[in-house]
Chains A and B, each alone.
Chain A
Amino acid sequence: MERYTDPMAHPSPWTDIGRHDLLPAASHDEIARFDVIAQLNTLLAARLAPAVRASFEGRVSPAWAARHGHEPRDRQEVAEAMSSDPAWRSWSLVRRNTMEMRQQAGRSLVARQATALRDRAQALNEGAATLQLDPSLPVPRYVSAVDTHLMRGGYTAEQIEGDVSNPANYDAGFFATVGGMAGPWNDAAGRALAAWLQREHPDFQPQRIADLGCGLGHNTLPLRHAFPQAQIVAVDVAAPFLRYGHARARSLGIDDIEFRQQDATATSLPDASCDLVFTTMVLHETSAEALPRILAECKRLLRPGGLAIHLEQPPYRRFPPFEQFMRDWDGRWNNEPFWTSLHEMDLTERMARAGFRPGEIFETECRAPALVAADGRAEDFGRSPVWYAVGAWQTADETAAAIG
């Protein structure tokens, strides 16, 4: 019975993914492969991870305590104690291989239709002033040098002229990785932010919004729905993702979001030109050098009364050592080189260093609202994905000082 009370027990089938013109076509077996990935991830979370915890609490931690006179005191000691634990090794092997198989499933899916996808993107993007690419933009090394979460070639790779296959892989595969938990449009973080703003600050009506590190824009679109009057600029360094994201938005009937190929550390937007500047799951994929510059860029862009807010996973300090150790897995084993540093960081302190007034800086939680299908059937997407968020409001005098 437990199986049926556990919301993670039934990931959404891939066929529940939101349809748009850029979504790659998938055969029966390709869909089945994605569904198996979702099931494996469910198994990892529901069965194998608890086995790792049981092993730690039942055998590894007591053995460590017997040798050292205390239980493992921090993440590093847990890692040392667990390094040869069979449960952890098995969990890691299944997790790493599931990630690899997810990439293979997505890559093989898009490889055979790369040209068709590219042509469809081109047709939708043709002549649109809202897509602004800049081939001369230098790609930061933290993007170009890393195959983030095992995505071959990273965000900027192009196999063919005008390629959109990596974002197509990302879009299709993300749904499988999270078992549809982020909703049919993979946009739960954007919906969570919009819902938080509407609930906590119902009078806040941003006129201009900037999404920094927008990727394929999946988390940008909910802000369009929440603030129909706002002008929205979505910025990223990766041309393939901007092409795909712009075409995807158009296919979904949204043609007024500007997608600009720019670096989040130095956008072309003027000083004090935005009311809302945000990132979703971006900061952990940057670098120690870029992070403070991105936070400072947000500060520069805000008008008085404007808000900068960043959605991430919670910092490690909120968790006991064992959970920190488990959460740190991606940093070391899933090609997320800045993951560990970011989660060890006090982002409120970094926001203060970026110039925000300490009293205006806050931490909060953004929760995606449950979705209901068009036919009234309650969809199983209402698993309430939750993000940690750190934000800061811009005050009037600060802006004057910053610009003056």
Chain B
Amino acid sequence: MDKPPPLRADSDQAASPAASPAARGRRPEFTDDPMLDRLYSVTLALVAELAVTRARLDTVERLLARRSVVGAEEIEAYRPADAEEVEARSRLHAEYLERMFREFTPVTRGDTPR
């Protein structure tokens, strides 16, 4: 029996437009605004992918614990070791929120505040 192709950590290479075109037939709209339907689609995909990421993180943590590399207690007890780690974590959150709320931040458009 031939071996299946090697698997990569993320399998996004397979989620190409060719691999996942829409089904034939009109796509239903359930709200009065097509943009809102589209927003639901993106949000639900985000929901699913975050769940996938959490599952992967859970796997990594369990494997680390199983091999006594890093246990759950050590993760829970983690505190920034120094000012650099504090700043790094803060930057992580700030950058993330910046991406999430880019449409809410007037300066990014150079527009007058909404």
Contact = CB atoms under 8 A, between A and B. Distances in A.
B41 interface: yes
Contacts of A123: 1
Contacts of A96: 28, 30
A33 B30 contact: no
A179 to B, nearest CB: 15
Contact of A116 (B2, B31, B40, B55): B2
A40 B52 CA distance: 13
Contact of B2 (A93, A119, A145): A119
13 contacts: A29-B55, A32-B51, A32-B56, A33-B52, A36-B48, A92-B30, A101-B44, A104-B20, A111-B16, A113-B4, A120-B2, A151-B23, A152-B21
Given A35-B55, A94-B44, A119-B2, A29 B16 contact: no
Contacts of A265: none
Those 4 A-B pairs whose CB atoms lie nearest each other, nearest first = A25-B4, A147-B23, A111-B19, A150-B23
Given A21-B1, A28-B56, A32-B51, A93 B40 contact: yes
A96 B38 CA distance: 12
A87 to B, nearest CB: 11
Contacts of B30: 89, 92-93, 96
A108 B56 contact: no
Contacts, number: 111
A27 B8 contact: yes
B113 to A, nearest CB: 31
Given A35-B55, A107-B20, A30 B11 contact: yes
Contacts of B41: 97, 100
Given A33-B52, A96-B30, A107-B19, A28 B59 contact: yes
Nearest to B18: A111
Interface in A107-165: 107-109, 111-113, 116, 119-120, 123, 145-147, 150-152
Contacts of B14: 108-109, 111-112
Interface residues of A, number: 44
A39 interface: yes
B51 A36 contact: yes
B10 A29 contact: yes
Given A96-B30, A112-B14, A29 B56 contact: yes
A94 B18 CA distance: 24
Contacts of A341: none
A113 B8 CA distance: 13
Given A107-B20, A333-B28, 5 more contacts: A27-B7, A30-B11, A36-B51, A97-B40, A101-B48
Contacts of A103: 20, 23
Interface string B64-82: 0000000000000000000
Interface in B78-99: none
B110 interface: no
A97 B42 CA distance: 9
Contacts of B11: 27, 29-30, 108-109, 112
